[in-house]
Structure 1
Amino acid sequence: MDAKQSLTFLEDAQQRLAELPFETVSAILAQAQGAERVYLVFVDIIRGFCDEGVLASERVREMVKPVRSLADAFLAQGLPASNLLFLQDDHPADAVEFAAFPPHCVRGSGEEETVEELRSLVEMEGAQLFRKNATNGLFGVNTAGEPFHAFLRRVLTEPVTFVVVGDCTDLCIYQNAMGIRLLANQDNVQARVIVSRSHVRTYDLPVAAAKQIGALPHDGDLLDVVFLSHMRQNGIDVVAGIQS
């Protein structure tokens, strides 16, 4: 690897992200030609990543209040409660995923529950919760037993917009935003997928701390830049933030 060349790429990517425009709720709704054509997708904003457990992170928790404010702004401007979509980890105790990640968000532990600030949203009549057993939520299912990918194919019959918020930028945000983008591409349907830099986070685990616990290090700032940049390269609209 050419470290100098990689540093040049990173500096350029940081500069490009710093120059991203802000969007507004009203502009997103207008571009979509109606609030009924916009879906707000909450990814893993749950206690096991924000409040308690081995994977909980204060850095990740930082986006909870901005996300709540964003949701309130969309609802105030006409977004139907049925267009609130929650993708949330809900693992069995023997989840195969635990070979790659420490046990987390085990069903019945409380870690799999929505954070307090968003609980009133997920409990709104019509809001949909898809419980997933993998980082990618396409095969997560709602209370009716419908997989998320099947739901998407039901709504991807006309141009629609998805705003994806939550954590982690390089894991579940990346995989789920890309999943929506690629499914729309496959079905040849016009869909806008928006990721707001102000409303996503990933965790940080320095090299020294990772060595102490026998884990792989995870540079939150670096991975935010790399994965936000890669999403842009794949047709996802990454914006600096979304203002009410």
Structure 2
Amino acid sequence: MSDIDNNELRAETKEQGRAAFFRRIDNNILEMIAHLSGLESMKISQFDKKRTALVVIDVVNGFVREGAMKSERIEEIVSPVLNTIEAFRNNSMKIIAFADCHSENSSELTHFPKHCLADTSESEIIDEIKNAGGYILINKNSVNGFFAPDFKKFMNENPDIDTYVVCGDCTDICVMNFCLTLKAYYDQQNKPSEIIVPIDSVETYDDCATHNGDLMNIVALEMMNTAGIKIINSVEDN
């Protein structure tokens, strides 16, 4: 067999391998969609009020209404997030609202566009949630609110809380980073915990070139599920 024939055979084999890889990916995505589509909701009465807190991540103007990182997709979760906040508030349960808040020299701004600078409207919680009230505001300077000093303070002051319902944005960035770290924190200490993410109350942005929002949502939710985080459809008030 000539070198040309060998090269053609290798190229054909490589192409077949690539095609098989994408077929597997397609099948896996369909299986993930089927799994996520069949999840049930939870009623607020199913939670222990004294042991459960709601965490709302980055529902701020800079991701919802204005600036370089705003997304219409995030706007779509405002209503279900408000419903979840209302359910927790009506039952006198604790609520945390994380807000992305950066200085001009924040290291995060070397790999994300400038966004949510301190003392600007971008770093403020959206008006609908402000008006609802009843939450503890925690500013954060990274994609992982777990490391915000005020969250550590909250955990120290509320040692009985071991169940967290997490909503907000972005599913595959700040939500996933926080949930995975929080779950790992409890696992490291062999402490029981439940981290819960309602699908109707999380979302991510869309960038056709590099970041397909639908795909990133699916993959992030399944990654969290694999790590022991409970994915549900929604939280319903009674």
Identify the match of residue 208 of structure 2 among 206, 209, 212: 206
Residue matched to 2:192: 190
* Equivalence map 1:15-26=2 (5 Å): 15-26=34-45
Residue matched to 1:13: 32
Residue matched to 1:135: 143
Higher Cα radius of gyration:
2
State the distance in 2 between where 1:91 and 1:173 align: 18
Residue matched to 2:115: 104
Identify the match of residue 56 of structure 2 among 42, 47, 50: 42
Residue matched to 1:57: 71
Identical amino acids, percent of aligned pairs = 29
- TM-score in terms of structure 1 length: 0.85
Contact kept? 2:52, 2:161, Cα under 8 Å: no
Contact kept? 2:50, 2:161, Cα under 8 Å: no
Q: CA deviation at 1:78?
A: 3.2
Q: CA RMSD in A?
A: 1.5
Amino acid at match of 1:228: L
- TM-score in terms of structure 2 length: 0.87
CA-to-aligned-CA distance 1:147-201 (integer Å, 9 cap, x gap): 4234325534x46210001000000010111121111111222111100000000
Residue matched to 1:115: 126
Contact kept? 2:54, 2:95, Cα under 8 Å: yes
| More helix per residue | 2
Q: Between Structure 1 and Structure 2, how many residues are aligned?
A: 218
Alpha-carbon spacing, 1:187–1:153, altered in 2? closer, same or farther (3 Å): farther
Residue matched to 2:13: none
Amino acid at match of 2:158: V
Instruction: Please state if 1:243 is matched with 2:236.
Output: yes
Contact kept? 1:169, 1:201, Cα under 8 Å: yes
Alpha-carbon spacing, 1:153–1:185, altered in 2? closer, same or farther (3 Å): farther
What SS does the aligned partner of 2:166 have?
strand
Amino acid at match of 2:199: R
Residue matched to 1:223: 216
Can you give the 5+ residue segments of structure 1 that lack an aligned partner in the other structure? 142-146, 208-216
